[in-house]
Amino acid sequence: MEIQEKIKSLIQQMTLIEKASLCSGKDFWYLKGIERLGIPSIMVTDGPHGLRKQAGEADHVGLNESVPATCFPTASALAATWNRDLIYQVGRALGEECRQEKVGVILGPGANIKRSPLCGRNFEYFSEDPYLTGEIAKSHINGVQSQGIGTSMKHYAVNNQEFRRMTIDAVVDERALREIYLPGYEIAVKGAQPWTVMCSYNKINGTYACENPYLMTDILKDEWGHTGLVVTDWGAMNDRVAGLKAGVELEMPGTRNENDATIVAAVEAGQLNEDVLDRAVERILTLIFKAAETLDQDFACDMQAHHTLARRVAAEGAVLLKNDGDILPLQKTTRIALIGRFAKTPRYQGAGSSLMNPTRLDNLHDEILKLIGVDNLPYAPGYTEKGDQADESLIQEALTLAQRAEVVIICAGLTDLYETEGLDRSHMKLPPGHDALIQRIAAAHAKVVVVLSNGSPVEMPWVTDVACILEGYLGGQAGAGGIADILFGEVNPSGKLAETFPLKLEHTPVHPYFPGGPTTVEYRESLYVGYRYYDTVGQLVLFPFGHGLSYTRFEYRDLMLSHPQGANGEALTVTFKVKNTGKLAGKEVAQLYVRDVASTAFRPAKELKGFIKVALQPGEETSVTLELDRRAFAYYDPQLKDWRVEAGAFEILVGASSQDILSLIHISEPTRPY
Ligand code: BGC
């Protein structure tokens, strides 16, 4: 029997109580099954960058132990690879580990937009840009689900802060909702069909996500065609019956069957149509049987291969922000001093529900030893464990060490308490002990390389005083190896920022309205998030969106369009050439932006609408083709309740970053408004 027919027949055999029972969890991590009907109970587990399977005591804030699993780089680093294939491979590896551990769904990826650099969970999210977010999420989901394991794309929607995340009402205008906060989910739903979508805790324009028919049914199911189910974030359910009616099928974790009784009572009282319940149960059973089919078979994965993959991804997600005098890559014989506690005690993942137990943990000190083949390295901790104050004696020790070195590597960044679920940062600075160390060493040495470990942007008051900056993000269990590979030229850096690094917090467009409260947070900046704001108003930034250096150089030329006069609503094919003009093999992320030159509606200066990562040998040139559909030119018209492309001039911009546009063409698109 076809699986859908089997499910329909099972629903017919169920009592009302049994149907209601399936709509909430058995406990923290398990869905309910029904033994008499052969419906198994499947397990779900956090996510997103590794499995947090709790065999013992359960919690949703990452307190209790979980089974060792591969800790991949966190989402900020994954996005900085801009590499769809690589992200797919990470997804596939996560899926394999789920199969090994008999976990049916991994709770991730997170597709929330980085509205402010201060959001405590930014390390779990991809980007400030919705197109990049959607493309990375899509690859991640397709990778996991290629293994017959489900994902839970979260936290849908408009959950861009931790402050009062359970109750805050995000007040957002329709254009910002449609153009900034939803397209990431839309791209991934249409291109990957996540088996589940997790609704967030917060309200959106007055209604809790978990009882929001506009978001859960009208948009997600009807407009985008989501065929999976919606699960609540853990404990997010407010009114169970309203939730079911809105299109939220599954409540997690279990509520000791309280809400199951509420559902039964509502049906019996005629307040809830049983068809609504049946449709929810159908989606839940579809998920259970899909996962069960996979989990019925035993599977063992190659954990060593996953560690190797994690290292590759960490290297590709690291962003070389600055490399004055081409000090990097270092020679194996370069006399280095390694400074900063993070070199021995790495910061490699964030805190909260994503905190997991790695199979092993590399550190930069040992990875460099192995890579350059020596027995010891001059090392000094430089700051205290908390780093919250400059420590003069540790700085003196580091200065002495630095004097004898040709190049000084300083490992700095944010400590654990800065980046955690449940808490936003209050500023964008590094711990004072880290800033002081960098400043003092930079004043005494001309060749300082700063390696940063952090999940979100920081201010760098010392940016002009140091020669090199390598943003390592939170690189996972093999992150240190990836950094060593870049420092010594085993890997040519190719990461690019998936978010702007502003000069200071006060420059961020949301600064006056973040995090709002006590009851509402108003998204007054509307569309002007990240580079959409900085580029529109001409605000200088520390490092722009899309920026990242390589050890080689690339040139762009011959930008051409299939319809140079405007495509009039048809797909526009954009072609151009990229050449590696340097001496090393390398990878380049070519970015494609669209600018609406003449518009009656307000529009940002440019918007990312395409990208590709190409690998080129020295001297090699490749021709790139990217497609722009009608949507790439459109804005959301709230009156029309649809996307609109206006007549008038557009620019097609191609380049190495949002501010390094190497070629542009002006077209008129289209001749008639629609
Ligand atoms: C988090 C989710 C997580 C869930 C289960 C919640 O607090 O917001 O991201 O998947 O807990 O641990």
What Rg, from alpha-carbon coordinates, does the chain have?
A: 25
Kindly state the tokens that stand for 447. 């060749």
Residue 55 burial by CB count (10 A; 0-12/13-18/19+): exposed, middle or buried?
A: exposed
**From ligand 1's centre to the CA of 27, what distance in Å?**
14
Q: In this structure, are residues 155 and 201 in contact, taking their beta carbons and an 8 Å threshold?
A: yes
The whole-number pLDDT of residue 674 equals: 41
Is 233 one of the annotated active-site residues of the chain? yes
CB environment 554-578: b (16+ within 10 A), e (fewer) = bebeebebeeeebbbeeebebebbb
The whole-number pLDDT of residue 670 equals: 54
Above 60 in pLDDT, residue 671?
A: no
Task: Give the mean pLDDT of 177-199.
Answer: 98
Per-residue pLDDT reduced to its tens digit, 581-600 = 999 999 999 999 999 998 99
The whole-number pLDDT of residue 672 equals: 46
Q: In this structure, are residues 435 and 410 in contact, taking their beta carbons and an 8 Å threshold?
A: no
The whole-number pLDDT of residue 619 equals: 98
Q: In this structure, are residues 496 and 321 in contact, taking their beta carbons and an 8 Å threshold?
A: no
pLDDT class of 406 with cuts at 50, 70, 90: very high
Q: What is the C-alpha separation between 39 and 30, in angstroms, rounded?
A: 13
Per-residue pLDDT reduced to its tens digit, 80-128 = 999 999 999 999 999 999 999 999 999 999 999 999 999 999 999 999 9
The whole-number pLDDT of residue 452 equals: 98
Kindly list the distances between the CA atom of residue 122 and the CA atoms of 249, 339, 405, 523, 544, in Å, as whole numbers in the listed order. 27, 27, 36, 17, 17
In eight-state DSSP terms, residue 535 is: H
Task: Give the mean pLDDT of 501-525.
Answer: 97
Per-residue pLDDT reduced to its tens digit, 542-566 = 999 999 999 999 999 999 998 877 7
Above 90 in pLDDT, residue 332?
A: yes
Give yes or no for residue 53 CB within 6 A of ligand 1.
no
Q: In this structure, are residues 157 and 185 in contact, taking their beta carbons and an 8 Å threshold?
A: yes
Q: In this structure, are residues 455 and 419 in contact, taking their beta carbons and an 8 Å threshold?
A: yes
Give yes or no for residue 473 CB within 6 A of ligand 1.
no
Above 90 in pLDDT, residue 291?
A: yes
Residue 85 burial by CB count (10 A; 0-12/13-18/19+): exposed, middle or buried?
A: exposed
Task: Give the mean pLDDT of 666-674.
Answer: 57
pLDDT class of 673 with cuts at 50, 70, 90: very low
Give yes or no for residue 154 CB within 6 A of ligand 1.
yes
pLDDT class of 140 with cuts at 50, 70, 90: very high
- Tell which one of 28, 46, 196, 424 to mutate to probe ligand 1, the residue whose CB is within 8 A of the most ligand atoms: 46
The whole-number pLDDT of residue 664 equals: 79
Task: Give the mean pLDDT of 196-219.
Answer: 98
The strand pairing partners of 655, in sequence order, are: 591, 661
**From ligand 1's centre to the CA of 60, what distance in Å?**
6
Give yes or no for residue 233 CB within 6 A of ligand 1.
yes
Q: In the chain, helix, strand, coil percent, each to 5?
A: 35, 20, 45
Candidates 129, 169, 233, 485; catalytic one? 233
Q: What is the C-alpha separation between 5 and 11, in angstroms, rounded?
A: 10
pLDDT class of 1 with cuts at 50, 70, 90: low
Give yes or no for residue 200 CB within 6 A of ligand 1.
no
156: CB partners within 8 A, 6+ apart: 111, 185, 197, 198, 199, 200, 209, 215, 220, 230
The whole-number pLDDT of residue 669 equals: 60
| % of the chain beyond a pLDDT of 90 | 93
The whole-number pLDDT of residue 510 equals: 97
Give yes or no for residue 52 CB within 6 A of ligand 1.
no
Which residue's C-alpha comes closest to atom 2 of ligand 1? Answer: 233
Kindly state the tokens that stand for 55. 């065999």
| % of the chain beyond a pLDDT of 70 | 98
Above 80 in pLDDT, residue 62?
A: no
Per-residue pLDDT reduced to its tens digit, 151-172 = 999 999 999 999 999 999 999 9
